[in-house]
Amino acid sequence: MQQFFENIANSFSTVEGIVFSVIDIIVTMLLVYAVLIFLKKNNATRLMKYLVVVIVLSIVIGSDIVPMPVATHICSNILVILLIIGLIVFAPEIKRVMWKLASPKTAENSYTTKYDCSDEELREAIDEIVRATQYMSKKDVGALIVIAPDNVPEQNLESGTRINANLSCSLIECVFNPKAPLHDGAVYIRGNKILAAGCFLPLTQQTDLDKELGTRHRAAIGITEQSNYLAIIVSEETGIVSVARNGELARYYDSQMLKDVLEQIYGLKAVGKPKKHLLKRK
């Protein structure tokens, strides 16, 4: 125990020691804060209390402050085990953070992909999507359309039915016809092609969303949390057209707003300052 206090006193014995110790303390606090905020954002608030207690106990017992050789041996490995468990349990959330860090900051750079069609064909595709969306909105037909600027991983498409057809308003309306077998699930669109329909999307784990939002909206938020896709949702109950991007949902899109955002994601339009019509969380 005396050695314990001596070690701490030695850290502050010189000016250099004091400076580096203060920096060390600040960095430790920032790391702990980052972990706490990560747990808070991923609805693991309850876990925090137990995690802090386990870590502190592990450090106390893992050092030789108290003479418990077996518990010391176990606790000296517990932090590594906790780290591995954390990586497994929070794998999707860590993936999302990594993707956000790796993504370019400006939307202009996010969407410079090449499609196998001309700009004119892309503009026609945008018009078709907007027309289909407006028609389904008027008829209160539920729809979930995912616009992918990059190639879509095979496992995303395998959950649905491959179509690989040229995009048209009629085809989109057919897919989302309530009597059609593929109307449940999402349609993946890239460029002027419908890649697949009836695809299942991961649901968001956010708990503070508006209770009016159903599974369709949650799926749209969920897929955009994990990727740079854009998701268009038409509500079956209200006919409201919403757009999800980067895990955030914006509602009450009219045809012009929808056209603007599609032109941005297809790289046909310069990115301006985003309009502030995001749905705020409660």
Partner 1 sequence: MKDVNNEEKKQSKFGRFLYAIFVNNLPYKIAAIVCGAVIWLLMAGM
DSSP per-residue letters across 6-71: HHHHHHTSSHHHHHHHHHHHHHHHHHHHHHHHHHHHTT-HHHHHHHHHHHHHHHHHHTTSS--HHH
52 is an interface residue for partner 1 by CB under 8 A? yes
Q: Which residues contact 221 (CB under 8 A, 6 or more apart)?
A: 204, 206, 209, 231, 244, 247, 248, 249
Q: Which stretch binds partner 1 (CB under 8 A): 20-28, 91-99, 147-155, 173-181?
A: 20-28
37 or 84: CB nearest partner 1: 37
- The count of other CB atoms within 10 Å of the CB of residue 92 is 14
47 or 60: CB nearest partner 1: 60
Least Å distance between CB 241 and partner 1? 13
Q: Which stretch binds partner 1 (CB under 8 A): 31-39, 123-131, 148-156, 218-226?
A: 31-39
d(CA 74, CA 58): 9
User: Of these, 77, 238, 252, 274, which contacts partner 1 (CB under 8 A)?
Assistant: 252
43 or 159: CB nearest partner 1: 43
DSSP for residue 262: H
2 or 106: CB nearest partner 1: 2
2 is an interface residue for partner 1 by CB under 8 A? no
DSSP for residue 281: P
- Residue located via tokens 């008027």: 138
User: Of these, 216, 218, 245, 251, which contacts partner 1 (CB under 8 A)?
Assistant: 251
d(CA 237, CA 240): 8
23 is an interface residue for partner 1 by CB under 8 A? no
Encode burial over 199-233: b for 16+ CB neighbours within 10 A, e otherwise.
bebeebebeeeeeebeebbbbbbbbbbbbbbbbbb
Least Å distance between CB 93 and partner 1? 17
User: Of these, 5, 46, 105, 155, which contacts partner 1 (CB under 8 A)?
Assistant: 5
Q: At what angle do helices 119-138 and 255-265 cross, to 10 degrees?
A: 140
| Binding residues for partner 1 restricted to 53-92, rule: CB under 8 A | 55-56, 59-60, 63-65
Tokens of 44: 């693991």
Q: Which residues contact 259 (CB under 8 A, 6 or more apart)?
A: 126, 127, 130
> Which x/- pattern, by CB under 8 A, does the window 221-250 give for partner 1?
-----------------------------x
Q: Which stretch binds partner 1 (CB under 8 A): 32-40, 155-163, 178-186, 255-263?
A: 32-40
Least Å distance between CB 236 and partner 1? 17
Q: Which of 229, 262, 259 is nearest to 244 (CA)?
A: 229
Which spans of this chain sit near partner 1 (rule: CB under 8 A)?
A: 4-5, 7-8, 11, 21, 24-25, 28-33, 36-37, 40, 48, 52, 55-56, 59-60, 63-65, 210, 212, 250-252, 276-280
